Structure 1
Amino acid sequence: MKKISNIAEQCMEPPSIEKLSPRYFNYSASINQVLSMKLSESIDSDLERQHNYLLSLVNMTDERMVCTIGGLLNYISLTAPSLRLNKPFEISDIKPINFESLTLIDNETYKNLQIFDPLQHPSSFKWSSTENNEGVSMYNLIEKNCSSMGLNRLRSFMSKPTCDLSVIQKRHEVINFFMQPNNFHVIQTLKTYVSQLSSPSVLSTYLGRLNLRGSHWKFIYRNIFYTVSYAEVCKANTTNVALFAELGADINDIVYSLAHNLESTIDLVNMEKNVHFVIKHGFFPPLDEAKLKFSKLTQQMDQITPYEFDTVPEFIPKIKLLYIPELKFVLSIPFWKNGLTQEELNLPNLHFMFVANNMAFYKTKRCYELDKLLGDVQTDIIKQETNIIRALGRYLNKHIHNVVVLMNKIIDLECIFALAKTGKENNFIQPYIVQEKVIKVVNGWHPLLKVYMDNFIPNDVQTSVADGLVNVIFGPNASGKTIFLKQIALIAYLTHIGSYVPAEEAKIGLLKRIYARVQESESIISKVSSLMLELRSMAFATTKTPPASLLILDELGKGSTELNCTAILTSCIQQFLSRNENCPLVFISTHLTDISQYIGDQQLLSFLIMDYIIQQGELVFLHKVKKSYAHSNYVFEVIETLDQTLPFVKTAKIVLDALRTGENMLPYSETRLKRSQRHMKFAKKFSELDMSKSGYMDKLREKIQRYYEASFHI
């Protein structure tokens, strides 16, 4: 099993980008490559039917698609050894991907929402491209409840949220089946069966080998047998579970024949003791006869050996009749003295063959008779077994795609079971899904917050055309705005992968895109400022998002001055509101409390605040959302709750008051204050000078001299 796991890890290496020459994407050559493919569905058909089947799958007039397929086939052919494929390799099927049914989420959103949070080793010398350690993330939460079979595809499964209502409903049926107490024994049976299964890629790797050992054949049989067993259990429990019915419908006669033929061909019991392939007794009678004949050879040769003393000289003390594959029967004679010459080795009535390990080997008359009578028994056995193995291998390779189809559906079911177990452990509920632009959640919570914290405060969410599509959230730092925003997005995300959601009640409209800009990942490689990154995100959110989208924008417009940020945020909100009912669902958090005077009250706009109370002069956060408008961001109150002795708080308050009132701002430093007072005194005396009197220039020169000496301590 250790070798199997190693192969599985190698098959799951992270993706890389490979550049190919343009000649590999030639249109005419690509058409020929596509038409030359022999898919499993048409492998028994004639050439014309194969072409017609391929033409039904691939639009040959779409030059870009045909060239892409041709380039991919060339790449697979060039890298077949590293991909552990035989040459020529076989393509079992072509499956189109429907992007219309996918809910689009970019990598930055996955990271911001902590759906995936890969941890890399801090040392570049110990970092590996194949490591997949996860931090605190939804993937980490769900993978703990996933079988080893499902783990092979869990990340891919979670990376493809869907807006297809029928797909989501089918997954909910599976989760509901899992949560029913009377189905416990069925789930346990499926769990037992899936523990015996491995990745389809590993199964294909073994089938591609030419020198399979006994353990490999047992591995293949075990996977086929338990795949069929798993599917049969699902077939017997298809009531109200469409995915079980689909899996059961894929069990055909070919799958049963694969399991039956393997079981009737290989000897599973004897292969426990023998690493080599063992044909089951009774499968091929001529082979059984040859094995029986071979098993009696030693006894027969021991009986014949004494008669061979009549054919050797009297000085030969010891002889033994042996069977050597391909050489057949020979007589072995130990060296009767040291330093034997070739002439001494040539004994009368014996045909000298060769010398090895101080023994001489000869053919006698009886040996030739045994060759004709018994033949090359072991070689015949090997040839017959080899023919059976090759025929069985060709048969498996031809029909194994039927088993792989079942295994892929089992993997999807295991991913859904992982969602079900996670939901059951955390008291998730089934959301009500509609084809409307609405998110209504009663007492929802952040799924990771409940797992890693004992106390959490649930929150309601209500957004729609009637309640407001653009929701602006105010609140001090550390009041819970970001957690609330992530909670909304995660509930929507979990809905679209077919999971239950963390809430007491949820009504979710289907979304085409989920976009979250919580924290910009600055990098020197990007060669742009943090403000430019933020503006780029805002441009995407306002212009590239369809109406059925959920946008989460945290602290929008904090990369510049307050005035600039207010202008940016206001224009962004106005842009959303100008789309009227085509406006997406938007949640924006900000500290800029004066934006309402630039926007005003509008039907699609809603203001929310993170509730708080002031207790004994201190700000206490309630982490609860309510509809209201904030008139202060309470930044100084937040700072003072952390440390009231911070020296810059008093200065900051003076500066802020001066900016708000427009009054002169006095410097806070005592030294600078005295100097400022001298400046003011000099300015006052200068304004009182009577320029009409004589000698005023001398007085002015005298005062400037005294001021200069006082200021610079001369």
Structure 2
Amino acid sequence: MQQAQASMTDWQSLYKTAYNAINIAEICRAQRADVPIFKKITEAFTDDIHQVAAAISQLVDFEESFAQNRFIVKPHVDEELDQRKRTYSTLPSLMTTVAREELDRLGPHIEECSIIYVPQLGYLLALPCTQHMTETKDFTIEGLQFMFMSNNTVHYKSARTRALDVKLGDTHCDITDHETQIMHQLQNDILLRSQVFYAIMDYAAELDCLIAIAIAAKEGNYIRPELTHGSQLDIIGGRHPLQELCVTPFVPNNAHFGGDHTRIKVITGPNASGKSIYLKQVGLIAFMALIGSFVPAEKASIGMLDGIYTRVHTQESVSVGLSTFMIDLNQLSAAVRDATKNSLVIVDEFGKSTDTVDGLSLLVACIKHWEGRGSDCPNLMVSTHFHAIVREGLLPASKQLSYKTMEVLENDGELVFLYELTDGHANYSHASHIALTAGLPEELVKRGTKVSKLLRENQPILRVDSSSSETQFDRYKEILAKFLDLDLDFDDLTGFLREQVLSSPSSASNKS
């Protein structure tokens, strides 16, 4: 609007904003005056809104404006504009009358004519081109000024059309200019009151947010958290605010940091056991408490955190120009660099997008760095599938660190996820079970399980199409026996090698 480029959709949106703001202000004035948001809206939503809404309602004809795709002023607003519109509405009948009079004056050799308006040229008398009009001199008619010929129609200026030019001019253009002038005046009046609309947007957004938080708290049975000055986090019966809407029943979990509890939690467990949901759940509860919302838990005591740092989701984009691992490193680097003892750090499966040894080493180094800060260590949650951290004892025993796992029951080869956080650690990720659940072919899963077992036992891995060791040994014995029976002076040694050695299955496998 400041650039005078407001469309009719913009005008309609502005009117609806002002109209609804009036209703919001009236509702808020009827509420308790000691509620801060109601007080701010009552004071900020001034009479300027009424004046803007009234001016737009009185001036703008939205129905006609959308039909003609331009700003149209309502009737009875400007008398001069109304007169021009009345004149414009009578133009068809006036032009028909003038055309009939011109036809009578022209004589019987002209059978029809019409009056048209052409911008820049004004009103013209249009006559159909006859068979006698073949050259320019044939277009000359007494009392008429030849202008041009187009589409077998000859156009002239007459005394009556010149009179119409003087009397009417470009009526439509005059109407458009007049309405544009009124629109600019209205825009200027609204811009003088623009501050009230900035206040409307700010306070309406704040009110909308508070209403949404209140509705979610009521429908989700949230509780009011206790905010403390320390960095402790104590959550009992915490739930994920979105996940609990998707699954029934949702298993709540506790979270304790600081005080008598460790500040570093290393969480292991099978895929799909609920580790990531738990991490996000704790982060969301802390965040919701700090913005003034009730939280999905049975009880919650949240310290005044100075930041929540996460390495959970990798937002990849070709416009960034960074690899997946580089994005993960940037997120973790910010946490290592900026997190304090009053921060919450959440790291979900860091290192999976690079070499296993490198990812494991970097993760262990970061955890050791935080653990070495002693009382300045942030509240830290790390989920990982690097079971070597526990198996190889890569982290030192510390009163700041504890291991947690998501409880799982195994029944006849089937996994039953309990989604409950317990003390301890997992030894396997049970990836094969998840792969079968996802629909991977059973033979592929069995092969993967076999290879995984051989790797853990440092055993050689044979190709699927390779013969077993016993089969190969028997074949070698057979070839050796035949070789010993050869008479090297008379038998074909080359043929023997071709038929018995080069054509054997083991030779074919080695060549491939």
TMscore range, shorter length: 0.5 to 0.7
Q: What amino acid is aligned across from residue 139 of structure 2 in structure 1?
A: L
Partner of 1:516: 310
* Alpha-carbon distance change, 345 to 313 in structure 1, aligned in 2, over 3 angstroms: farther
Partner of 1:289: 83
Cα pair 1:266 1:280 within 8 Å, conserved: yes
| Other structure's SS at 1:353 match | strand
Question: Which of 263, 278, 298 lines up with 1:470 in the alignment?
Answer: 263
Matches within 5 A, 1:491-530: 491-517=285-311
The question of 1:572 aligning with 2:361 is answered: no
Question: Which of 154, 164, 168 lines up with 1:360 in the alignment?
Answer: 154
* Alpha-carbon distance change, 641 to 254 in structure 1, aligned in 2, over 3 angstroms: closer
Pairwise CA distance, 1:276 = 3.9
Cα distance between partner residues in 2 of 1:372 and 1:644: 96
Cα pair 2:65 2:71 within 8 Å, conserved: yes
| Other structure's SS at 1:516 match | strand
TM superposition score normalised by structure 2: 0.65
* Alpha-carbon distance change, 624 to 356 in structure 1, aligned in 2, over 3 angstroms: closer
* Alpha-carbon distance change, 340 to 394 in structure 1, aligned in 2, over 3 angstroms: farther
Matches within 5 A, 1:253-264: 253-264=47-58
| Other structure's SS at 1:447 match | coil
Q: What amino acid is aligned across from residue 331 of structure 1 in structure 2?
A: L
Matches within 5 A, 1:41-120: none
Matches within 5 A, 1:207-356: 208=3, 216-217=7-8, 219-235=9-25, 236-237=27-28, 239=32, 241-271=35-65, 273-308=67-102, 311-322=105-116, 324=118, 327-356=121-150
* Alpha-carbon distance change, 374 to 481 in structure 1, aligned in 2, over 3 angstroms: closer
Question: Which of 323, 330, 341 lines up with 1:547 in the alignment?
Answer: 341
Cα distance between partner residues in 1 of 2:68 and 2:395: 84
Partner of 1:436: 230
* Alpha-carbon distance change, 644 to 637 in structure 1, aligned in 2, over 3 angstroms: farther
Extract unaligned runs of 5+ from structure 1: 1-203, 656-668, 672-714
Cα pair 2:368 2:395 within 8 Å, conserved: no
Pairwise CA distance, 1:395 = 5.0
Partner of 1:107: none
* Alpha-carbon distance change, 469 to 389 in structure 1, aligned in 2, over 3 angstroms: same
Pairwise CA distance, 1:443 = 0.6
Q: What amino acid is aligned across from residue 467 of structure 1 in structure 2?
A: D
* Alpha-carbon distance change, 278 to 507 in structure 1, aligned in 2, over 3 angstroms: same
Cα pair 1:469 1:606 within 8 Å, conserved: yes
| Other structure's SS at 2:302 match | strand
Question: Whose radius of gyration is greater, 1 or 2?
Answer: 2
Cα distance between partner residues in 2 of 1:306 and 1:565: 95
Moved more, 321-330 or 505-514: 321-330
* Alpha-carbon distance change, 620 to 336 in structure 1, aligned in 2, over 3 angstroms: closer
* Alpha-carbon distance change, 606 to 289 in structure 1, aligned in 2, over 3 angstroms: same
Pairwise CA distance, 1:353 = 3.4
Question: Which of 420, 437, 449 lines up with 1:624 in the alignment?
Answer: 420
Q: What amino acid is aligned across from residue 572 of structure 1 in structure 2?
A: H
Pairwise CA distance, 1:457 = 1.8
Q: What amino acid is aligned across from residue 491 of structure 1 in structure 2?
A: I
- Taking every aligned residue pair, what percent have the same amino acid on both sides? 25
Cα distance between partner residues in 2 of 1:385 and 1:538: 60
Cα distance between partner residues in 2 of 1:481 and 1:302: 83
Cα pair 1:636 1:649 within 8 Å, conserved: no
* Alpha-carbon distance change, 403 to 475 in structure 1, aligned in 2, over 3 angstroms: closer
Cα distance between partner residues in 2 of 1:575 and 1:614: 35
Aligned residues: 434
Cα distance between partner residues in 2 of 1:364 and 1:539: 85
Q: What amino acid is aligned across from residue 246 of structure 1 in structure 2?
A: K
Pairwise CA distance, 1:444 = 0.7
| Other structure's SS at 1:224 match | helix
Partner of 1:61: none
Higher strand share: 2
Cα distance between partner residues in 2 of 1:245 and 1:474: 47
Cα distance between partner residues in 2 of 1:344 and 1:511: 95
Question: Which of 156, 169, 182 lines up with 1:388 in the alignment?
Answer: 182
Partner of 1:141: none
Cα pair 1:553 1:588 within 8 Å, conserved: yes
Cα distance between partner residues in 1 of 2:316 and 2:282: 25
Q: What amino acid is aligned across from residue 14 of structure 2 in structure 1?
A: I
Cα pair 2:132 2:138 within 8 Å, conserved: no
Pairwise CA distance, 1:386 = 3.6
TM superposition score normalised by structure 1: 0.49
Runs of 4+, deviation exceeding 6 Å: 519-523, 525-530, 536-539, 555-558, 563-567, 593-597, 613-621, 636-655
* Alpha-carbon distance change, 595 to 406 in structure 1, aligned in 2, over 3 angstroms: same
Cα distance between partner residues in 2 of 1:226 and 1:410: 14
* Alpha-carbon distance change, 310 to 455 in structure 1, aligned in 2, over 3 angstroms: closer
Question: Which of 622, 628, 635 lines up with 2:427 in the alignment?
Answer: 635
Q: What amino acid is aligned across from residue 223 of structure 1 in structure 2?
A: S
Pairwise CA distance, 1:292 = 1.6
Cα pair 1:516 1:553 within 8 Å, conserved: yes
| Other structure's SS at 1:270 match | helix
Moved more, 290-299 or 637-646: 637-646
Pairwise CA distance, 1:445 = 2.0
Cα pair 2:146 2:157 within 8 Å, conserved: yes
Cα distance between partner residues in 1 of 2:244 and 2:310: 21
Pairwise CA distance, 1:231 = 2.3
Q: Structure 1, residues 600-658: CA drift from partner, whole Å, max 9, x if none? A: 5x5xx3646448598999997754345x6x4xx46279799999997689989989xxx
Q: What amino acid is aligned across from residue 348 of structure 1 in structure 2?
A: E
Cα pair 2:59 2:73 within 8 Å, conserved: yes
Cα distance between partner residues in 2 of 1:499 and 1:227: 27
Question: Which of 243, 247, 252 lines up with 1:458 in the alignment?
Answer: 252
User: RMSD of the alignment, in Å?
Assistant: 4.9
| Other structure's SS at 2:344 match | strand
Cα distance between partner residues in 2 of 1:446 and 1:288: 63
Partner of 2:201: 407
Cα distance between partner residues in 2 of 1:443 and 1:267: 58
* Alpha-carbon distance change, 349 to 459 in structure 1, aligned in 2, over 3 angstroms: closer
Cα distance between partner residues in 1 of 2:146 and 2:452: 108
Partner of 1:15: none
Cα pair 2:409 2:418 within 8 Å, conserved: no
